[in-house]
């Protein structure tokens, strides 16, 4: 069996939500600790995956317009990208339509990872990058490390109050649109997620997911 890593997609990042969102449950108790839901968080602040067949979301916050890159271990030699969103294949990230002029919050790129060139052979794993602008076209790409798949938003959609369970009017959904970030997910099969506290600093050498496969490469 061989391990394959997926690292944080940009520098200057922080982890701000995993199994549950960061913030407070009703009554002021924490929703999330160490990347896991607290007792109240599981019922009130769940961070659900938005893409069919994927799991284990992580919200990675960064500066406006930051390039989101595929940072993976050197034994991943190629990738295949698929744009995902309401205008692509009907598989949107967020269940509620975004506010006007923020269509990108519902759009992302699904990346299939391979240990051979040409996006051939056994699929090692899949990682999804959501809330992207200027997304990479669908296709196969060799040497994926450092490849830009899109860009973070240029501004926050809205300012939502805590607790995180309460959305506010004007179609602003706190658990989907608060803060400029990339929403990541992974294929459940053969995958492992690194859980971390809210606000944990991340760099491009920090693993967020790991896949283990018996593929002959």
Give me the pLDDT at residue 98, please.
Answer: 78
- Determine the Cα–Cα distance for residues 207 and 94; give it in Å rounded to an integer: 25
- Determine the Cα–Cα distance for residues 39 and 198; give it in Å rounded to an integer: 16
Decide: 19 and 36 in contact? Cβ < 8 Å: yes
Decide: 177 and 157 in contact? Cβ < 8 Å: yes
Whole-number average pLDDT of the chain: 87
Q: pLDDT band at 75, cuts 50/70/90?
A: very high
Give me the pLDDT at residue 162, please.
Answer: 47
- Determine the Cα–Cα distance for residues 207 and 93; give it in Å rounded to an integer: 23
- Determine the Cα–Cα distance for residues 182 and 60; give it in Å rounded to an integer: 5
pLDDT more than 70, % of the chain = 90
Q: pLDDT band at 213, cuts 50/70/90?
A: confident
Which segment of 26-30, 64-68, 134-138 scores lowest on mean pLDDT? Answer: 26-30
Give me the pLDDT at residue 166, please.
Answer: 43
Give me the pLDDT at residue 175, please.
Answer: 52
Across 106-133, average pLDDT: 94
Residue 79 in this model has a pLDDT that exceeds 50: yes
Across 188-197, average pLDDT: 94
Give me the pLDDT at residue 176, please.
Answer: 67
3-state secondary structure of 42: helix
Decide: 50 and 84 in contact? Cβ < 8 Å: no
* pLDDT tens-digit series, residues 85-105: 998 988 888 877 777 778 888
Residue 175 is inside which H or E element, if any?
helix 174-177
- Determine the Cα–Cα distance for residues 207 and 35; give it in Å rounded to an integer: 14
Decide: 22 and 16 in contact? Cβ < 8 Å: yes
Decide: 72 and 198 in contact? Cβ < 8 Å: no
Phi and psi at residue 16, in whole multiples of 5°? -130, 20
* pLDDT tens-digit series, residues 159-177: 555 444 444 333 344 556 7
Decide: 19 and 47 in contact? Cβ < 8 Å: yes
**Tokens matching residue 159:** 């300012």
Which segment of 3-7, 14-18, 177-181 scores lowest on mean pLDDT? Answer: 177-181
Omega of the bond leading into 150 within 30 degrees of 0 (cis)? no
């Amino acid at each position: 069996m061989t391990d394959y890593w997926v690292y944080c997609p940009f520098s200057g990042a922080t982890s701000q939500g995993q199994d549950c969102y960061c913030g407070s449950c009703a009554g002021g108790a924490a929703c999330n600790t160490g990347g896991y839901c607290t007792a109240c968080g599981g019922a009130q602040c769940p961070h659900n995956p938005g893409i069919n067949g994927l799991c284990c979301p992580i919200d990675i916050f960064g500066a406006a317009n930051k390039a989101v890159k595929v940072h993976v271990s050197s034994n991943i030699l190629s990738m295949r990208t698929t744009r995902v969103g309401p205008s692509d294949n009907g598989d949107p990230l967020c269940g509620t339509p975004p506010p006007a002029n923020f269509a990108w919050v519902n759009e992302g790129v699904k990346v299939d990872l391979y240990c051979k060139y040409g996006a051939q052979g056994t699929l090692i794993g899949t990682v999804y990058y959501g809330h992207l602008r200027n997304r990479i076209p669908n296709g196969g790409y060799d040497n994926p490390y450092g490849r830009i798949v899109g860009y973070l938003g240029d501004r926050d959609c809205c300012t939502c109050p805590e607790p995180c369970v309460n959305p506010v009017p004007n179609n602003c959904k706190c658990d989907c649109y608060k803060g400029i970030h990339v929403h990541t997910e992974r294929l459940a099969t053969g995958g492992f997620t690194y859980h971390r506290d809210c606000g944990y600093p991340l760099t491009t050498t920090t693993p967020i997911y790991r896949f283990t496969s018996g593929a002959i490469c």
